[in-house]
A and B are shown apart, each in its own frame.
Chain A
Amino acid sequence: MHIDARNIENNTVIEGDICIVGAGAAGISMAMDWMHTPYKVILLEGGGFEYDPQMQDLYAGKTTGQRYFPLVSCRLHYFGGTTGHWAGYCSPFEEIDFKKRDWVPLSGWPITRKDLDPYYAKAQPIVELGPYDYSVAFWQKQFPSYVPLPIDNEVIWNKMWQFSPPTRFGMKYKDTIVNAKNIHLYTYANAVDIKANDNISAIEEVTVKNLAGKQHTVKAKHFVLACCTIQNARLLLASNKQAPKGLGNDNDNVGRHFMEHIEIKSGELWLEKPNPLDLYMNDFVTTKARAELAVTEKKQEEYRILNGTTSLSPLEDARKFKSMIETWSDDVKKNEQLFKSFDDSAKKSKTKKAYNSFELFTRIEQAPNPDSRVTLDTEKDALGMPRAQLHWVLTQLEKRSIRKIHELLGQELGKAGVGRVKLLDYLWDEKDESWPVFTGGGWHHMGTTRMSADPKTGVVDANCKVHGIANLHVAGASCYATAAAPNPTLTVIALTLRLSDHLKGVMKL
């Protein structure tokens, strides 16, 4: 069922069993998981079904610290959320990503990879992926030309990615959601405030507003914030009428530990003989799966480095493109054209089959850092809500890790007689703490309501419930305790489905 919140009587009280705030990958996945149940689910979407610049402007905010993309265009503010422009990269986190690592501050989740495995399997079809099998052997059976580099898997291994078409949730699941009898989708319903009971132990209602001047109240037994990492933190911080520091923020963790994947060109691989390296290629159009080179858990531990992977692209193609941080616009439409130019270029480049030089491109986790954070600005948006402000901070651990990963790659590829690796010049001097101008992220926002068993070091518990508040949950990458290397969407959905199962248990479904 769909209701446009601009068209209902002002001050309507909307009631349901579960209220999901946000209709992106997490919110829609959760809502679909509750279809055909006896429970009434309220799904709130701030925007409509189409892109609207006025709605998008509600996501605008300032950034300081490490140069970052304009916040206004990092996330899409309409039904389907940022799946409207995601690239479809999917891979699960590894076991090490959930572990306490004494060289990574604040690392360690209160759950393990095994806890998420069944939900990863369940998430795969939602984003139209193949089977939950990320082994090279499986994909080599499908594509015999997928030949791994002859490297020592005790040091470097091939981490597989699968590619979603990419699934645009707004298009793919609109009819499913709108036609579901027990799902009540409200568009143009921006959550601007959360009201708790007197002792702030449970949430009573959420206030929603729109630019048509309407304000409504949503009451439910359970509330799930699924409006993305920056907005989840913003909403909790802005809900400060009862708790001056914001809801769930007794220990000053909300908004802190903002993490990104540093995505940056990092080196070159030169082979003696041209090789197609099909296993590692991605044409952005038809590729179902590919591998990236990753350092084993054992070696990460030995060298005390972060988890990251390195992808390969033909150097002659890669050199045509500037980095995203240098080209990304605050205009969503221009960015769509940018993505299209990559697709077109990828199609053209398929004429050549083998190369002897490749660009090495790193995606690596950022260590949790309390100074890297989202706060509220003094400036307010058109609905009267303080805008988000992001202060992105990197540390030397990230840079040292990128350097070490490439040194290890160089050693292993040299040992195998395959080729030689060249680090880009910003990595040459191990004492150099600066980052080059093309340092960017993957638009992967994580960590502002991090998961921890201890309320002193996290906002949500192992079930994604906000510490100290009985019926307030958070879905999405804001719950990540650490960022791992993979793009976050698959894990967002898996974690959300796990939360969904937990809520079903609580509600005795």
Chain B
Amino acid sequence: MAYCHSIEKDRCKGCGLCVEVCPKEVLEISSEVNTKGYFPVYQARPEDCVFCATCCRMCPDVAISITEEPEAKAAQA
């Protein structure tokens, strides 16, 4: 089963809680502001992501989601 991790940039308020709780240190705060004026989070090291969904669980804005990819994608290991 392959998964896809996506961040809705404009929902993110840049609170940094997900960055703190990610067990693989995948996430970082971006230096590009979003439409709301916040600096949103992004996957700095997506290859390290194990899809544990801890970031999803921590996010107060439900800005992060993980979906299933039925066909194996080249990006996922």
A and B assemble together: no
**Chain B interface residues (CB < 8 Å from chain A):** none
